[in-house]
Structure 1
């Protein structure tokens, strides 16, 4: 999985988490604020759980923090705290140390949330690193530099800053004439640019990132003074800063080398922006690794994806989740691959593939949907739907086929145009070329099912299975009424209706025409309480109650309309016959 450390071109990737911290550095605790309601984000998941690059924003922040190897990490929760706690339990249960949580019972602002975390760290005397959970672009290197500069200068507090073209929602940093910290103005106060003569009105304003390093003892003393004095009606952080200034405690500033590192997401506009920035970071990394991305502006690759050098990603393509793409594979255009493995030399074009394995040199051609399936090496799917199916090597599906769950096609088997198949197996080289339904059947190797044929597997209550042997030739417009077994090498004539077992090597035909016989009342007698029985009773003007399959009595109203006579070609069955689907 890609981390911001890997994506950060400034990182040499030579150290393990925390290894670059000086051995004489103070102990570090991390606080991540994730209690906000995120109303500006609109309906949906809790703000910090919105995904950026396939990972929750909170997850990105915790990964960056983990690179500094803090002794303890505290996540402050509030709104939707159950969702946040469940996310932490699912994603970070194995982290060392695992994040702890502290609950902000009411929304009292940034400083109040920080106080909630500090109360979770009694006796801690080192450095406290604080970040918001909605800053997914933060890197471990940027945080490490903040902490290092803070500890080297012996500051009571050091804030992370940057210069942004859009400073809406960010606090403004004011510096003294010698460039030191002077004040931190709340968002939306003062001019958004510094004075200047240029067309832009001066250079970009410096803003605070909402990321701080505090001396734990100084911070705790400031909170104690705040609570003792009763100055709890305003923003606690502003009061803390006033305390530091009044006691001549030093406040420092660390400027992010890449201003994108400090971008947060408080609304959908900002969320789209951080997603685009991370997309570009990811794509630059993969381009440098030898992946051919034809249009980086429309290629979206999640941080959990893996692509081999030589893979090709065409325009408007998404490689999501824990997907992997092999060397020489071509993905796109207009394609989504999610949590799937695409083998070397494979092709997936204008299709959607989810939780599936695509073998080497396989082809998933335009307008296919593949879900939870396996496609063997060299197999081909064209304009079709596969759901929980397995295709052997060189098997073929489509176009316009529907392969339903629990279906397996062995090597070189074929399901052709306008074929639906479910819970069935096709042996090696077996074919169902077109216009057929195969349900609950096992078809042997080398067999062929003629067009317009169907397997009647359901009698309205129970499903039955059919078995077709090896090298069988089923003629066109055949009906197989399960349960039935057809031996090896059997041939059947056109329009055969096969309801009895056929021995190996036989020819099965249907002689003459089938004479229709209607059996009045069969449905009410044999399928009492079914939807069909109720409909029949209503059509015949019956009253009273019919018992449904689960024993519930249902009243059937009288109808004043006379029953319509059955169509002349409507089929019927005898007591011993089974209905087709």
Structure 2
């Protein structure tokens, strides 16, 4: 039988106190809406309808080309939100999953199990439930003496007895599609919120003698939704533990997983060692044998085999095998360090390519440069690539030695085996095998320092 899905993503999320729509807040690198969409994809829906409302265009952009959309201009409750998908789904055979866009922890496996349970039990509706130690704020699952679901009662409408029930509604359901849209016509707003509750459908089905079931999650944490920043932090913590555990089971060593922050799309090979306070974000890939020491921060970058990154920041760059970076180095976007290269403390590389076994040990800026192999940068070297209006390229050949405190003013080219004397300002090309000396002539004033020391103004 065909599956369909409706993701509810129209709400503002007032308690988030944010200009950003609630479902666009990120958890481990991607929006909550994207987490939900990925989980929903596990049931392979023939149609996926995302209901949008508040800042609809911003929400649409996240799933553009992946989902169809229905616009809810007024937020009049969950039942009303599902009504917005009527044009796309009403009258179709199959079953429809309804899920909130602020529940990023629900897994695809759990949703597939929910669908299987629903189909096997021939239910008209099945609720995804969970058991909560503290059920305050959740809708409660009301069952009869036979264990059958009779209705869902919201917190504000629940009696004192009903509030003691620990089985709660996660806000995720699966319905017979045709019956869903038939029954939506019977909803009303006779409740504490004055809204169309999707949960009221359960009572409607029961009154018609139709079969309603409930499938309970194994892990309560999967059910967690996000209504405020405190809940967002809790969900982030759960997701981080889940991600780190996956990597550990795949052969990655963590010094302190509680203090390691890895986005959901990061790829890490076995035999990588990660110390505490490491952050890996975006589309980063870490190859086997790499070591990431305390404090390293890596975004959208590729780290090669056996590379060692020591307390450094790397952005949108490529680090090849056996490279060492840091401590306190910064690779800015579009940088490449070839095999065996080294950049040390307080070195910044930006939009540059550093050849094999080339080294910049300390206190150096390399910007917009093409650097060959076996090049050595002395301390304090600056590649002056910007004249205030335009940026220019520096080209450095193989086996070049850059003396300490040299400044290379781009555009400039240094040939193979060239050498610059310490303290030189190089503004013209240096031929291969040449030594460039560009500094002021030294003048010694004999006895001047002694005279200055005894000057009255110094006493």
Q: Tell me the TM-score normalized by structure 2.
A: 0.87
Deviations 1:150-189 (A, max 9, x none): 2222222211011234545422223333333233222465
Residue 431 (structure 1) aligned to one of 398, 401, 415: 401
Residue 422 (structure 2) aligned to one of 448, 451, 460: 451
CA contact (8 A) 1:430 1:444 kept: yes
Q: Determine if the alignment matches structure 1 residue 385 to structure 2 residue 348.
A: yes
Tell me by how many angstroms 1:238 deviates: 4.4
The whole-number CA distance in structure 2 between the counterparts of 1:342 and 1:30 is: 38
CA contact (8 A) 2:426 2:436 kept: no
Q: Secondary structure at the match of 2:377?
A: strand
Q: Secondary structure at the match of 1:249?
A: coil
Residue 359 (structure 2) aligned to one of 372, 393, 396: 396
Deviations 1:232-271 (A, max 9, x none): 9533324433322332322211101122221122211111
Q: Determine if the alignment matches structure 1 residue 207 to structure 2 residue 168.
A: yes
Partner of 1:245: 206
Partner of 1:62: 37
Partner of 1:42: 17
Partner of 2:220: 259
Q: How does 1:489-500 map to 2 (within 5 A)?
A: 494=441
CA contact (8 A) 2:293 2:310 kept: yes
Tell me by how many angstroms 1:360 deviates: 0.7
The whole-number CA distance in structure 2 between the counterparts of 1:181 and 1:317 is: 47
Q: How does 1:297-446 map to 2 (within 5 A)?
A: 297-371=258-332, 372-382=334-344, 383-404=346-367, 406-421=368-383, 422=385, 423-440=393-410, 441-446=412-417
Say which is worse superposed, 326-335 or 415-424, in terms of deviation.
415-424
Deviations 1:460-498 (A, max 9, x none): xxxxxx2111122223625xxxxxxxxxxxxxxx579xx
The whole-number CA distance in structure 1 between the counterparts of 2:189 and 2:162 is: 38
The whole-number CA distance in structure 2 between the counterparts of 1:363 and 1:305 is: 21
Q: How does 1:9-88 map to 2 (within 5 A)?
A: 26-88=1-63
Q: CA, structure 1 residues 73+444, in 2 after alignment: closer, same or farther (shift >3 Å)?
A: same
Q: Secondary structure at the match of 1:282?
A: helix
CA contact (8 A) 1:314 1:331 kept: yes
The whole-number CA distance in structure 2 between the counterparts of 1:269 and 1:337 is: 26
Q: Secondary structure at the match of 1:278?
A: helix
Partner of 2:451: none
Partner of 1:510: none
Tell me by how many angstroms 1:114 deviates: 0.9
Q: CA, structure 1 residues 312+254, in 2 after alignment: closer, same or farther (shift >3 Å)?
A: same
CA contact (8 A) 2:273 2:290 kept: yes
CA contact (8 A) 2:152 2:200 kept: no
CA contact (8 A) 1:448 1:471 kept: yes
Q: For the aligned residues, what is the CA RMSD?
A: 2.4
Partner of 2:452: none
Q: Determine if the alignment matches structure 1 residue 173 to structure 2 residue 141.
A: yes
Q: Determine if the alignment matches structure 1 residue 472 to structure 2 residue 434.
A: yes
Q: Which runs of 5+ in 1 are unaligned?
A: 1-25, 196-203, 457-465, 479-493, 497-581
Q: Tell me the TM-score normalized by structure 1.
A: 0.70
Tell me by how many angstroms 1:428 deviates: 1.1
**When the two structures are aligned, how many residues end up with a matched partner?**
429
Partner of 2:78: 110
Q: Secondary structure at the match of 1:386?
A: strand
Say which is worse superposed, 60-69 or 180-189, in terms of deviation.
180-189
Tell me by how many angstroms 1:228 deviates: 13
Tell me by how many angstroms 1:226 deviates: 3.5
The whole-number CA distance in structure 1 between the counterparts of 2:425 and 2:76 is: 68
Tell me by how many angstroms 1:27 deviates: 1.9
